[in-house]
Structure 1
Amino acid sequence: MRGRGRPIATVLTDALAGRREARLTAVAAAFSEACGWPLAREVSVRAVARDGRLLAVASSRGWADEVERLAPALCARVNARLGRPVASGLDVRVGPVER
């Protein structure tokens, strides 16, 4: 069966390829998976820049600092979940998190 054993973010990206708004949805899903439950409740991805940098918004400065510390690992996990290099880095801001 096609798609079996692949992360849902990869399947979503493939299914919606070529649509800008769909790309953000797939990246946000992969980012949430990469973060894990506790961190994903406090941080969300809002945009993907042309150079692949993700704009993440954290609920507090403490969570933003944690995401900045984990940025290389999170980007590697996002790319692994999507099956291709998409995330080249993170820019983190503090603000309301979309849940």
Structure 2
Amino acid sequence: MSLLATAPEGRPRAISAPGGPVPSFEQLFFEHAPFVWRALRRLGVHEADAEDVCQEVFMIVHRRLASFEGRSSVQTWLGRRSLGAAGRGSEAELHDRRRKNR
């Protein structure tokens, strides 16, 4: 879990959204990466793949952060992104298994 081991020295500033201020991407990552990693493991992502899938979740978050409306908590929003990424990983594994069994 090396990507989760360090935190920034300073606090990046928050950005505004209709539902109130949204933490910057850096804040989201350092405050919530452990939660996302644990959620992925609970969703069945293998430990060896959890860091890569966690990075995928935060790549999606980076692209979609401006669309966060604040209608749910940040953690709920991240949990939904984690669920989607875990599902895509399962679909890819299933596809690989089917292709190998042909």
- Same-fold status (TM-score > 0.5): no
Give the TM-score band, short-chain normalised: 0.3 to 0.5
Please give the TM-score of this superposition, normalised by the length of structure 1: 0.32
Scaled by the length of structure 2, the TM-score of the pair is 0.32
Pick the structure with more helix per residue: 2
